[in-house]
Structure 1
């Protein structure tokens, strides 16, 4: 302890050196602290700038979507009570037929009224084809398609209502069918793999798409080169077809909407063998 105190004794010659060293150390510490503070401030400024840039980019992206959709879709207060009041390319989008109306899809007279067997025949499905029933509902047409493509083929039953898929699932299990896969879609995508389909079929469903552009953009990606998309809709041109107006579509309107270049689909043919509906078929061209 005495030696320690002697080091601090002012009369000792080494005390000055110790103070000098201590002073330099203190100065160095202050300099280091100052550098650290300055570095921290610079980092905060740079981080804040980067954060603000990212925030601005996100904000711009968020604002761009509504503007784009605003141009694509128009909303009107005065509209058909069976529609959404949402208009796309001049037509009003119809309300979706909900799960409680599933019995209507199963009605015995549907075969005679719509000639479902003729519809499936006209599509010319082949064994081994991969097809999708978009808006499958309770699966009346899904089952007919599955029979056509056979054990080597496959049918995706796509619907946005889980209750509809549950009905079809019961049928599949009861009949021990193995070439049908259930797919729960959403309002903007059918959730199908790119270039996976030889045929996508939509029977009285396209006119109910809440986001037809977005859904068709995703669906068109799922079509193989040389694959087809078939729209079956009640003929709006025919006043004798007694269906609510928003649930009918003209051939011209279908062509106008589906021929948009973003989809990469070309009109192939319109089949008019059904009593009240037309089958408007588009194709993804093969690479040249």
Structure 2
């Protein structure tokens, strides 16, 4: 069974509900906050067709990661991106795998151990606090996560404080501007919405990547 949410359908895989009901709170842009994916949905993150549908290898390339960087994979989930980032920043770098759900962090820990990666640190966040070190993170990445944050403005403020002088916040989000992207509307974001919400916290769009099949990759910096 497909796990993408088509039209008004619900997210299902093998009969398991993957996403909670969408919320009703409105951030600065006025969009509806989407429901959060539970740890039961982790297999969807690891689906074999993900590379063809989303091109995560291209997204990693466009992040321009360098050895020695400190990167936070916020909403790390099963560690799909975490592992790839850890390899890119190398043993002199560090990846902070951040997630609300301890079950997800356990998956990341097992993955790191199996891959022999020692540069991954597990961080359990709260709905309003990413628990990142002040002024120390070179890149904060959120892949299909930002639109689910219950308190996006508060989280952005905390993330801004965590950035190093060269720090950026990157989001990968399904394009709301594209009707052909087969994802429910509340799980999409437009560039305009992102700029409104990040702009309200003193962050500006630094670079925009539109070469992914279904998603925007947007990188923001402090004004």
TM-score (norm 1): 0.69
Structure 1 gaps of 5+ residues are 1-80
Is 1:274 the counterpart of 2:208? The answer is no
Match of 1:87 among 18, 26, 50: 26
What pairs with 1:186-205 in structure 2 (closer than 5 Å)?
Answer: 186-205=126-145
Match of 2:81 among 119, 141, 149: 141
- The structure whose residues are more often helix, as a share, is 1
Distance 1:266 1:238 in 2: 23
Structure 2 gaps of 5+ residues are 1-19
Distance 1:144 1:254 in 2: 25
Larger-gyration structure (1/2): 1
State the partner residue of 1:37: none
Residues 211-256 of structure 1 deviation map (CA, whole Å, 9 limit, x = unaligned)? 1111111111101122111111000000011100100000000000
TM-score (norm 2): 0.89
Is 1:185 the counterpart of 2:100? The answer is no
What pairs with 1:83-162 in structure 2 (closer than 5 Å)?
Answer: 83-89=22-28, 90-162=30-102
What pairs with 1:16-31 in structure 2 (closer than 5 Å)?
Answer: none
Is 1:168 the counterpart of 2:108? The answer is yes
* Runs of 4 or more consecutive aligned structure 1 residues displaced over 4 Å after TM superposition: none
Distance 2:67 2:85 in 1: 10
Distance 1:193 1:168 in 2: 20
Q: Which has the higher contact order (CA 8 A, sep 6+)?
A: 2
Is 1:238 the counterpart of 2:178? The answer is yes
What pairs with 1:203-282 in structure 2 (closer than 5 Å)?
Answer: 203-260=143-200, 263-282=201-220
Instruction: Provide the alpha-carbon RMSD of the alignment.
Output: 1.1
Q: Give 1:176 shift.
A: 2.0
Distance 1:266 1:85 in 2: 26
Query: How many residues in Structure 1 have an aligned counterpart in Structure 2?
Result: 203
Distance 2:195 2:60 in 1: 21
Distance 2:210 2:155 in 1: 26
What SS does the corresponding residue of 2:24 show, helix, strand or coil? strand
